[in-house]
Structure 1
């Protein structure tokens, strides 16, 4: 499933693995019980679950993604003069794996290892916008899936869909006081060869000051460079 750009039917899994359908269904139900996969009932397909994302996030924190991303995040902070960070999706959350604090800038909540709701952060929104619609629906099936930190941000699946549609058009994501009052961020997704979002890079600055010149373009450029280095 990790190699597929979209959720897959059990019959396709059975064909690829040369296993009986009954065996595949038993295995999938066992994996689903432990959170490794999700069953998308309406589509009759299966997708990776939050536990699989946790494992992927753990690998990323210790392996090439963080190692290759760290110098790019540091260079981005130097270029913009603002704090920057790299995060990965873990279910409906973002886990930050690299953080570069710019001198004399406000303290942020995005320390390494911190989890934040993906639908509120610039990194998370950029990655969600690159996911298949079915995966987003599985993560945010109803209003109960939406949390808030400052009283702002999408509250319904429809609001999230509209937000992600705009991000896909713009090519980058942003947030304004939705993670922390008084701060703004812009972020971009790092995609693998199949177009799957494996990480997000963002920069954050104080709402009291101007947006760093060419912040969005610089973040997109850093994300593209990390994608190139990971190939």
Structure 2
């Protein structure tokens, strides 16, 4: 199990910021003792050979019984822990669903990396993998190929969902009705003078993208930059996209089409491997 994820997730739910400065040690960074204790309890329950009782948790972590009871009660109410028939504590359904969602994302990222490297090396472009997170697409991994100047892209950057190539690629994996409803309720930003801001015209471009299998951005997001993207699916549902970006002068129509087709093949294989 990913124990660092336990700790970060518990702190997040207690609204406790984690200060990453290397000049501060771990204990000094912890500003909410209750969050630290909750994280320790979660770690103990997850790693115990047998589900522990409240007394065993309190004794192992040197906590008072009332403090232990209060934290366990909160974790149980939130679905992060649950009690067995004999009063022992197990990981709860809500926590497991969050953990599995995180694990699934990480698996997709790792599965995507060799494909990013391959497409980037073949076409000498920056190639990205990102996951759809509501109104954003979060860049999870980037490959930059060989030498030469590249469009700078960094993991951790969040793009607006309606970023032309990326957003349209994800929309390709939705049904026509859901696709139309999502576009019509979304704001279509004017990133450049070439951005499509009319929902009807935007949907027409999505339809053209559907016929190709991939979406194209011709200086709609950044002047002087072209992009091509393909949808990434898990269990038939859209979860993100793979896309390649480069300077307009270095990507002609033939190269754009070949890159798009390579991304479609890559996302298809990744989706099958993730099943």
Q: Report the TM-score when normalising by structure 1.
A: 0.66
1:219 matches 2:268: no
Corresponding residue number in structure 2 for 1:203: 244
CA contact (8 A) 2:226 2:251 kept: no
Give the Cα–Cα distance (whole angstroms) in 1 for the partners of residues 250 and 122 of structure 2. Answer: 17
> 3-state DSSP class of the match of 1:99?
strand
> 3-state DSSP class of the match of 1:123?
helix
CA contact (8 A) 2:170 2:240 kept: yes
CA contact (8 A) 2:126 2:151 kept: no
Q: 1:224 to 1:127 in 2, by over 3 A?
A: same
CA contact (8 A) 2:196 2:220 kept: no
Q: Deviations 1:120-140 (Å, cap 9, x if unpaired)?
A: 332221111222344435543
Higher helix share: 2
Give the Cα–Cα distance (whole angstroms) in 2 for the partners of residues 60 and 187 of structure 1. Answer: 24
Corresponding residue number in structure 2 for 1:106: 150
Note the aligned Cα RMSD (angstroms). Answer: 2.4
1:141 matches 2:187: no
Q: Whose radius of gyration is greater, 1 or 2?
A: 2
- Structure 1 unaligned blocks of 5 or more: 1-54
Q: 1:163 to 1:210 in 2, by over 3 A?
A: closer
Give the Cα–Cα distance (whole angstroms) in 2 for the partners of residues 60 and 96 of structure 1. Answer: 16
1:229 matches 2:270: no
Corresponding residue number in structure 1 for 2:209: 167
Q: Deviations 1:52-76 (Å, cap 9, x if unpaired)?
A: xxx79x8278520111111211111
Give the Cα–Cα distance (whole angstroms) in 1 for the partners of residues 190 and 138 of structure 2. Answer: 17
Give 1:68's match in structure 2, choosing from 94, 104, 111.
111
Moved more, 159-168 or 212-221: 212-221
CA contact (8 A) 1:93 1:124 kept: no
Higher relative contact order (CA 8 A, sep 6+): 1
Give the Cα–Cα distance (whole angstroms) in 1 for the partners of residues 149 and 173 of structure 2. Answer: 30
Q: What is the CA-CA distance between 1:226 and the residue it aligns to?
A: 0.9
- Structure 2 unaligned blocks of 5 or more: 1-97
Q: Deviations 1:163-211 (Å, cap 9, x if unpaired)?
A: 11111111111101112111111111122333x2122111112111243
Equivalences for residues 1-231 of structure 1 within 5 A: 59=102, 63-102=106-145, 103-108=147-152, 110-142=153-185, 145-194=187-236, 196-211=237-252, 212=255, 214-231=258-275
- Number of aligned residue pairs: give it: 173
Give the Cα–Cα distance (whole angstroms) in 1 for the partners of residues 121 and 160 of structure 2. Answer: 27
Q: Report the TM-score when normalising by structure 2.
A: 0.56
